[in-house]
Amino acid sequence: MGVATKKLTTTRSEKAFKEAQRHIPGGVNSPVRAFGPVGGYPLFIHSASGCRIKDIDGNEYIDYVCSWGPLILGHAHPHVIKKIQEAVKRGTSFGAPTELETQLASLIKEAMPSIEKLRMVNSGTEATMSAIRLARAYTKRELVIKFDGCYHGHVDGLLIKAGSGATTLGVPTSPGIPQGYTNTTISLPYNNIEAVENFCKEKGKEVACIILEPVAGNMGVVPPRPGYLEKLREITKRYGIVLIFDEVMTGFRISPGGAQGLYGIEPDLTTLGKIIGGGLPVGAYGGKAEIMDHVAPVGPVYQAGTLAGNPVAMSAGIATLEKLKDKSLYAKLEERSQRLSEGLERSARVKTFHTRVGSMLCTFFTSREVTDYDTARTSDTKLYAKYFRGMLERGIYMAPSQFEAAFVSTAHGDDDIEATIEASSEVMRGLQGH
């Protein structure tokens, strides 16, 4: 039985995609946007407001991609837009310091006490790349441990068993990276503390850092097992390994203090992105001053950026974090996300496994409990594609890949949540028997 569909007219998007492909590889500037795994062509977006996006054919959708996480306040939030406009009028970039950088840095530090000093960069990729360089310089060691299915941006040495688009497109280990780069990266199974213990028993004193998404969000959403993060903290301390929490997705998302705040673990270094840029390109890495003071110009570890700390992007980040100081927003997010997740679970008519931490959630199409990369990949991606298309045809815009998260924003109201659950029930009825 097929999924009941409504006819969407998306001819302008189709045409725009054809034209884009003539100029841009695959017609997109980031592979996950291409709709490859779910079929068809991507929707080209005209505008967005609150939790709704509108495509260039005039169709409107309730958006759970939220620009892949940054838009926790929803699209075009008036306070963020106002601050961006004010900043733009004063000039877009100076290549010289502004007070805005210090202001955003102190807002971040206030929320994440493990960060004593931080450096602004332009993306999460830059943040993780720089944090690893720093950890290696600080420890004078070379090995890096990451975890299967975690994605830390397109850093050469980290594109090994990487999640997100790399998994979606079937290239978790990218070509084009010299073996020398990846020889020093060890990828271990996520949520498996024994694997880390065993490796460290052999080579712990050679490991510079362990980097992980404390809540994995790039193989779908996979929460850490109880005690896993605590144990990682203990092992890293024992062997003098720098513990890096990649909180690009989870920072300011799953709690005001990110995963480290939620689980009460202090990493040595943290990487950030997404929400701290309020929808503009910002990344950051920070942590103990003792480590951060190895970064140039104080120390010898070189890292730089013409547009780093850009005043317009800083203003968007500041505006977003200012709003997030209202902690009642997190309570609301939690309540709505829980209702959505439970509603989606109730709507299921095929075997699914549902995960959620705060306003990050995921539906896996599998009968297995998903705890790591291997179990995440038991999900039936063809069924996900059908579900995705059914939802889209009912005005719900989910990530065009199984191996991503759905994000709820403060702009998603009760009616939006109910409409989403209702759409899911309809789509699931069509999937029954698969």
Active site members:
151, 246, 274
Exactly one of 164, 191, 359, 409 binds ligand HOZ (CB under 6 A); which one? 164
165 or 204: whose CB is closer to ligand HOZ? Answer: 165
Exactly one of 17, 41, 61, 68 binds ligand HOZ (CB under 6 A); which one? 68
Q: Which of 33, 99, 2, 128 is nearest to 318 (CA)?
A: 99
| φ, ψ (nearest 5 deg) of residue 27 | 75, 5
Quote the least distance from Cβ 31 to ligand HOZ, whole Å.
7
Exactly one of 30, 106, 183, 367 binds ligand HOZ (CB under 6 A); which one? 30
Under rule CB under 6 A, residue 218 binds ligand HOZ: yes
Inter-residue contact 281 to 330 (CB < 8 Å):
no
Quote the least distance from Cβ 405 to ligand HOZ, whole Å.
8
Q: How far apart are CA 44 and CA 200, in angstroms?
A: 48
Q: Which of 133, 93, 158 is nearest to 311 (CA)?
A: 93
Under rule CB under 6 A, residue 376 binds ligand HOZ: no
Under rule CB under 6 A, residue 74 binds ligand HOZ: no
Under rule CB under 6 A, residue 404 binds ligand HOZ: yes
Site string for ligand HOZ, 133-152 (x = CB under 6 A): ------------------x-
41 or 138: whose CB is closer to ligand HOZ? Answer: 41
**Pairing of the two strands 143-147 and 207-212:** parallel
Non-local (6+) Cβ contacts of 169 within 8 A are 31, 36, 37
168 or 424: whose CB is closer to ligand HOZ? Answer: 168
Other C-beta atoms closer than 10 Å to the C-beta of 92 total: 12
Inter-residue contact 269 to 135 (CB < 8 Å):
yes
Q: How far apart are CA 339 and CA 356, in angstroms?
A: 11
Under rule CB under 6 A, residue 171 binds ligand HOZ: no
Quote the least distance from Cβ 103 to ligand HOZ, whole Å.
26
Spatial strand order in the sheet of 60-63? 45-49, 52-55, 60-63, 396-397
- DSSP 8-state symbol, 233: H
Exactly one of 20, 32, 105, 321 binds ligand HOZ (CB under 6 A); which one? 32
Quote the least distance from Cβ 404 to ligand HOZ, whole Å.
5
Under rule CB under 6 A, residue 25 binds ligand HOZ: no
| φ, ψ (nearest 5 deg) of residue 427 | -65, -45
169 or 329: whose CB is closer to ligand HOZ? Answer: 169
Quote the least distance from Cβ 36 to ligand HOZ, whole Å.
13
Quote the least distance from Cβ 165 to ligand HOZ, whole Å.
5
Under rule CB under 6 A, residue 162 binds ligand HOZ: no
Exactly one of 34, 115, 127, 249 binds ligand HOZ (CB under 6 A); which one? 249
Cα dihedral across residues 149, 44, 252, 119: positive or negative: positive
Residue number of the CB closest to ligand HOZ reads 30
393 or 404: whose CB is closer to ligand HOZ? Answer: 404
Q: How far apart are CA 340 and CA 427, in angstroms?
A: 15
Binding-residue total with ligand HOZ (CB under 6 A): 9
Q: How far apart are CA 421 and CA 342, in angstroms?
A: 9
164 or 424: whose CB is closer to ligand HOZ? Answer: 164
Output the CA–CA distances (angstroms, integers) from residue 202 to 138, 205, 239, in the order listed.
21, 8, 11
Non-local (6+) Cβ contacts of 89 within 8 A are none
Please give the residues from 102 up to 121 whose contact with ligand HOZ meets the rule CB under 6 A: none
State the residues that interact with ligand HOZ by CB under 6 A: 30, 32, 68, 151, 164-165, 218, 249, 404
